Amino acid sequence: MKNSYDLVVIGGGPGGYEAAIRAAQLGLSVACIEKRVHKGEPALGGTCLNVGCIPSKALLDSSHRYEATKHELADHGITTGDVQIDIAKMLERKDAVVKGLTAGVAGLLKGNGIDWLQGWGTLLDGKGEQKQVKFAPLEGEETTITAKYVILAAGSVPIEIPVAKTDGEYIVDSTGALEFSEVPKRLGVIGAGVIGLELGSVWRRLGAEVVVYEAMPEFLAVADKEISKEAAKLLKKQGLDIRVDTKVTNAEVVNGEVVVTTDVKGETKTETFDKLIVCVGRRAYSEKLLAEGCGIELTERGLVAVDDQCKTNLDGVYAIGDLVRGPMLAHKAMEEGMMAAERIHGEKAQVNYDTIISVIYTHPEIAWVGLSEQAAIEKGYEVKTGSFSLAANGRALAQGEGVGLIKVVADAKTDRLLGMHAVAVGAGEIVHQGMIAMEFVSSIEDLQLMTFAHPTVSEAVHEAALSADGRAIHA
Ligand code: FAD
Ligand code: NAI
């Protein structure tokens, strides 16, 4: 550890560690301060690697394999014995995946000559040429280090609600829901957002009865309506009991059970669960990050205020990822990290916020990029759309995955592609085609004129584009 660096990054999540690595590649001396201790050991990788993207996907994969082995193999003529799930082993595997990746990030920092300072970082003063950062190690004396540049990358934490206070055992947040040591018989979930659908799916597949309470009248209002309607139908068929327009007014633990009281259009109802997950969104985490008088401006919602290039109000201080405006997604944080590092180095890096992909890793996945039909209309476009059902896609049917649809949204005047939306097997991969097409300002006609391999699920992208002009072949 030195007293002074070119760049100090506070936060070692996907945003922070990518920023640190890019800056080091560009020749800057870099320290990355990260205070996280995961399962007893200091850990890089932030929310995403430790308690977010990666462990949730490990459990989604295990639970999908279990469900598919149990219920789908017979159709293929495959006979299995009594299919069992060993939850402890499943969690062990998840932990091993996390450990491998977080150790990998530590190796990358080391390999790039970056000092990982294990402890808390606080911006004391960001106004002068040399920024002052307090470093309070996990053990030992705190010190002040100086840096020409600072990147704030402290991420986010779950929002807590007073009507359902988490206790770490019965009423838990997403982190607790990654650690259930047995399958709850009845699982309640507050919030039918991304976490509710993903973690609700994990435990439902493993045998829990899952009820998901959503306060809003509409399911998945952020998605294109055609997609959210289809997704709701498929998820309900799988057994996720999603209740929209339902407000949880109280949740308390009584005799080892969680008693949840709801208000459904004025009617009060009570239900009991073994466990309750609270996943009603996340908030920027800036406690201990900013000393009083450090000079950083926050927004009304407590985010660090930044411009399109992630510059804060103070010269030389950047903020990225969940701490700032925009979707709370790891890939968005990473791209902002790289942009901030390159901007510090004097380059003209940009993030295209119009093509940030959203993926919900249910089965089938729900994913999109760009504008939904409704958002495009609201923005004043004359819109044309095309969609194609996977029930008519040969590959999807051969895989036993012939459900869902792919949809394209375009500007009717110019034919320009504005968005691609899918609820389909592999939707998260498929919409990358939409992202690349949008980056290259493709038209619907471009997608119509390309040759898609047969038989692939991607052919449904081609057919959706053809259908936008009434030309789909298999519809
Ligand atoms: P974080 O990953 O939160 O990292 C910030 C780090 O800063 C933390 O490790 C924290 O300990 C540290 N820190 C904070 N304050 C200080 C301080 N003062 N000093 C030192 N260190 C500090 N996103 C996706 O794109 N795809 C997914 O599939 C996905 N799945 C998710 C599943 C779950 C269950 C959850 C909870 C989130 C998921 N996300 C997913 C969101 C994703 O995890 C975040 O968007 C991403 O981690 C944000 O990156 P970040 O670097 O901004 O912040
Ligand atoms: P979310 O914003 O996706 O969903 C929260 C849901 O809870 C919303 O539908 C909201 O209307 C509802 N809600 C809010 N208050 C409520 C209340 N009192 N009662 C009932 N419902 C209520 O937030 P979530 O699921 O907590 O996830 C947080 C963030 O983490 C996401 O926004 C996303 O950015 C990130 N994430 C991303 C993943 C991915 O990319 N696959 C996976 C998991 C999380």
pLDDT confidence of residue 81? 93
Q: Report which protein residue has its CA nearest ligand 1's atom 52.
A: 321
Residues marked active site are found at 454
Exposed/middle/buried for residue 371 (C-beta within 10 Å: 0-12, 13-18, 19+): buried
CA 400 to chain centre: 27
**280 Cβ below 6 A of ligand 2:** yes
Between CA 231 and CA 229 the distance in angstroms is 5
Q: How many helices (H) and strands (E) does the chain have?
A: 13, 23
**pTM for the whole thing?**
0.98
pLDDT confidence of residue 388? 98
Task: Give the residue-averaged pLDDT of 12-33.
Answer: 98
Between CA 380 and CA 370 the distance in angstroms is 15
Name the one residue in this structure whose structure tokens are 């939306």.
421
pLDDT confidence of residue 104? 98
Query: 150 has which bridge partners?
Result: 8, 317
Between CA 464 and CA 475 the distance in angstroms is 10
Between CA 157 and CA 322 the distance in angstroms is 9
Cα separations (Å) of 96 from 89, 92, 179?
Answer: 10, 6, 14
| Closest to 152 in 3D by CA, of 2, 45, 19 | 19
Can you list the positions of beta strands (E) in 36-167? 37-38, 41-42, 115-125, 131-137, 143-152, 156-158
pLDDT confidence of residue 140? 95
Structure-block tokens of residue 80: 């299995």
Between CA 425 and CA 225 the distance in angstroms is 19
Q: Rounded to the nearest whole angstrom, what is the distance from the C-alpha of residue 321 to the centroid of ligand 2?
A: 16
8 A C-beta contact, residue 32 and residue 173: no
Cα separations (Å) of 114 from 24, 44, 103, 134, 144?
Answer: 7, 13, 14, 18, 18
Structure-block tokens of residue 327: 């979707």
Q: Report which protein residue has its CA nearest ligand 1's atom 27.
A: 53
Q: Which residues line ligand 1 (CB under 6 A)?
A: 10-16, 33-36, 46-48, 52-53, 56, 120-121, 153-156, 174, 195, 285, 288-289, 321-323, 328-331, 333
**427 Cβ below 6 A of ligand 2:** no
ipTM value for the complex: 0.98
Percentage of the chain with pLDDT > 70?
Answer: 100
Exposed/middle/buried for residue 119 (C-beta within 10 Å: 0-12, 13-18, 19+): middle
Q: What is the pLDDT of residues 235-269, one digit of tens each?
A: 999 999 999 999 999 999 999 999 999 999 899 99
Q: How confident is the model at residue 460 (pLDDT cuts 50, 70, 90)?
A: very high
| Closest to 410 in 3D by CA, of 460, 436, 374, 376 | 376
Helix (H, G, I), strand (E, B) or coil at 360: strand
| Closest to 96 in 3D by CA, of 173, 39, 15 | 39
The region, left, alpha or beta by phi > 0 then psi within -120 to 50, assigned to residue 354 is alpha
CA 340 to chain centre: 21
CA 212 to chain centre: 19
Q: What is the pLDDT of residues 184-208, one digit of tens each?
A: 999 999 999 999 999 999 999 999 9
Tell me which of 50, 280, 328 to substitute to probe ligand 2's pocket, judged by most ligand atoms within 8 Å of the beta carbon.
280
**194 Cβ below 6 A of ligand 2:** yes
- Average pLDDT score, the chain: 97
Between CA 272 and CA 250 the distance in angstroms is 12
pLDDT confidence of residue 313? 98
Can you list the positions of beta strands (E) in 216-353? 241-243, 246-254, 257-264, 267-273, 275-278, 282-284, 317-319
Q: How confident is the model at residue 8 (pLDDT cuts 50, 70, 90)?
A: very high
Cα separations (Å) of 462 from 422, 426, 446?
Answer: 13, 16, 10
Q: Report which protein residue has its CA nearest ligand 1's atom 9.
A: 46
Q: Rounded to the nearest whole angstrom, what is the distance from the C-alpha of residue 440 to the centroid of ligand 1?
A: 30
Structure-block tokens of residue 243: 């209740």
Task: Give the residue-averaged pLDDT of 104-109.
Answer: 98
pLDDT confidence of residue 143? 98
pLDDT confidence of residue 146? 98
Between CA 146 and CA 435 the distance in angstroms is 40
Tell me the DSSP string of 421-448.
Answer: EEEETTHHHHHHHHHHHHHTT-BHHHHH
pLDDT confidence of residue 98? 98
Interhelix angle 194-205/225-238, rounded to 10 degrees, is 20
Structure-block tokens of residue 79: 């006979």
